[in-house]
Structure 1
Amino acid sequence: MDASLRDKVAVISGGGGGIGHAAALAFHAAGARVAVIDLDPARAERSAAAVADAGGDALGLAADITDDGQVASAMAQVVARFGRLDILYNCAGGTVPEDGPVTEVPLDVFDRTFDLDVRGTFLCCRHAIPAMVRAGGGAIVNMSSGAALRGASPFHVYTAAKGAILAFTRALAGTYAKHNIRANVIASGRVMTERIIRTWGELSSDRVKNDPQDPVGRLREYPFWVGEPEHIAATAVFLASDAARMITGATIAADGGRSAY
């Protein structure tokens, strides 16, 4: 059994850049028709155009995933265009530099982060699942972070939000298995998206070889911790495919082993 998504329709939130953009191309390459949702209409159209240029069928939609009405409308447009919805990849999310320890972080950071990471994921599931049920089943892939698997992160709001996604995904798996819907999480390590590069700078495993002092010492111990958007996109394609039929309610730690040793 391979990871083909032929005849499937995949929706990607946050699909206008970074991992989401890479996923749009990866899902197309696996055979899916793709709907890209992004807050920025130009970014949504850019990803849809990239899929079309690669010979695929894609739809770009602008929507704020924290707004119930906009999410409902976006999912309805997907079904109207493609006739079904089989896969939901909740890729939208993130944190802000102002995040920090619970005793210090501004409360507006809590509200903004939970709105995007948790409420956004919740609303996309809320409005995609009924269409999946009508289609006879499907797969949900939610994005979390290695920060949710360890206690070392000083970004307590982001850690809490991404931890909530783990529990929510298990609840989805348990509730909708009878409808032939699987739900899993990717807890990623450091992925070199535009946002991460702006915040943390460029990192790569080659830096270990080129700098004996290695200012980012983790790379010596965890050479697989840093990756490209395409690495996470490939994991999402696998989890969405029938090749992962026996996997549901699981958290896949794509963090280069940082949560394991």
Structure 2
Amino acid sequence: MGTMQGRVALVTGASRGIGAATAQALADEGARVVLAARDERALQAVADQITARGGSAIVVPTDVSDPDSVCQLVARTLGAYGRLDVAVNNAAGGGHRPTPLAEVAIADFDSAIQVSLRGVFLAMKYEIPAMVRGGGGAIVNMSSTAAHWAVGGLAGYVTAKSGLTGLTRTAALDYAASGIRVNALTPGPVRTENLDRAGPRTREKVAASVPMRRLGQPAEVAAAVVWLCGPGAAFITGTSLSVDGGLLAGMPPYEQER
């Protein structure tokens, strides 16, 4: 019996990377999983992998920037499974390429906020009432080490992820007495499609900046999500857990010249 046996879990941004790995990990622990993202074909491929391993998954194409689409996502979840116990708000997007702040287009900045911050607000707005009716639940919002250690040129992304910290804490306080735990996860550099496209030289440089001298893997982030949503984290809410190879701990020691 897995730690998620009998539970229903919703994962946004589930079509690839951390979202897909998280959906698979939750299913492996016994959860019935609802997969949400805009790319229906990619979602179906993830669902097929889950069912091939004996799990249960349904696909609900969703645009997290659209309130009606998010409302329908939760309604479809309840219609299929009758309850919602776990939500992982992983969808992100919009924003801009590395650009000095004064040169960032207003529309690009707004798009980062709309998807990566407002989208999480919308998700929780509809997820939380469903969890309250079911007697409680656990939510994990996917943030980033950039929320605590800014990256130059990424004003939209850094602002959205920083805002998630306050949004997560506020939701945790609002619903702790209702049995709903709300936490954030702050991954460091993780090998997903973006880093794969960047090429081996970039991956090597990024990995060298991590104290553990390697990139994280989506499955490692997914394992942290499963733990935060499970019984082992039953007294944890309103916090941000870093999965970053030591990146936020500080600066590694300088190598001494010999």
TM-score (structure 1 length as normaliser):
0.90
Deviations along 1:159-185, one digit per CA (max 9) or x if unpaired, are 110000010000010000011000111
Look up the equivalent residue of 2:199 and give its one-letter code.
G
Contact in 2 for aligned 1:9/1:84 (Cα 8 Å): yes
In structure 2, C-alpha distance between the alignment counterparts of 1:94 and 1:100, rounded to whole Å: 16
Contact in 2 for aligned 1:64/1:70 (Cα 8 Å): yes
In the alignment, which residue of structure 1 is the partner of 2:69? Answer: 70
> CA 1:65/1:237 → structure 2, altered by over 3 Å: closer, same or farther?
same
Look up the equivalent residue of 2:186 and give its one-letter code.
A
Could you say what secondary structure the match of 1:191 adopts?
A: coil
In the alignment, which residue of structure 1 is the partner of 2:242? Answer: 253
Give the structure, 1 or 2, with the largest relative contact order (CA under 8 Å, sep 6 or more): 1
Deviations along 1:171-212, one digit per CA (max 9) or x if unpaired, are 0100000110001111111111113322x334799x5xxxxx
Matched, 1:111 2:107: no
Matched, 1:232 2:221: yes
Contact in 2 for aligned 1:147/1:153 (Cα 8 Å): no
Could you say what secondary structure the match of 1:190 adopts?
A: coil
Contact in 2 for aligned 1:225/1:258 (Cα 8 Å): no
In the alignment, which residue of structure 2 is the partner of 1:211? Answer: none
Contact in 1 for aligned 2:87/2:138 (Cα 8 Å): yes
How far the C-alpha of 1:24 sits from its partner, in A, is 1.0
Matched, 1:158 2:157: yes
Contact in 1 for aligned 2:210/2:246 (Cα 8 Å): no
1:201 corresponds, among 199, 205, 224, to: 199
Could you say what secondary structure the match of 2:249 adopts?
A: coil
Query: Percent same amino acid among aligned pairs?
Result: 35
In structure 1, C-alpha distance between the alignment counterparts of 2:158 and 2:49, rounded to whole Å: 33
In the alignment, which residue of structure 1 is the partner of 2:38? Answer: 39
Deviations along 1:120-146, one digit per CA (max 9) or x if unpaired, are 111111111111001100000001111
Contact in 2 for aligned 1:203/1:226 (Cα 8 Å): no
In structure 2, C-alpha distance between the alignment counterparts of 1:114 and 1:217, rounded to whole Å: 25
In the alignment, which residue of structure 1 is the partner of 2:119? Answer: 120
> CA 1:160/1:86 → structure 2, altered by over 3 Å: closer, same or farther?
same
In the alignment, which residue of structure 2 is the partner of 1:174? Answer: 173
How far the C-alpha of 1:100 sits from its partner, in A, is 2.6
In the alignment, which residue of structure 2 is the partner of 1:148? Answer: 147
Contact in 2 for aligned 1:94/1:113 (Cα 8 Å): yes
In structure 2, C-alpha distance between the alignment counterparts of 1:38 and 1:103, rounded to whole Å: 32
In the alignment, which residue of structure 2 is the partner of 1:210? Answer: none
Contact in 2 for aligned 1:98/1:109 (Cα 8 Å): no
* Structure 1 unaligned blocks of 5 or more: 208-215
Contact in 2 for aligned 1:192/1:203 (Cα 8 Å): no
Contact in 2 for aligned 1:45/1:60 (Cα 8 Å): yes
Aligned residues: 250
How far the C-alpha of 1:252 sits from its partner, in A, is 0.6
In structure 2, C-alpha distance between the alignment counterparts of 1:122 and 1:10, rounded to whole Å: 18
Look up the equivalent residue of 1:48 and give its one-letter code.
A
In the alignment, which residue of structure 2 is the partner of 1:58? Answer: 57
* Structure 2 unaligned blocks of 5 or more: 251-258
The RMSD of aligned alpha carbons is: 2.0
Could you say what secondary structure the match of 1:256 adopts?
A: coil
How far the C-alpha of 1:147 sits from its partner, in A, is 0.8
Look up the equivalent residue of 2:170 and give its one-letter code.
A
Contact in 1 for aligned 2:95/2:156 (Cα 8 Å): no
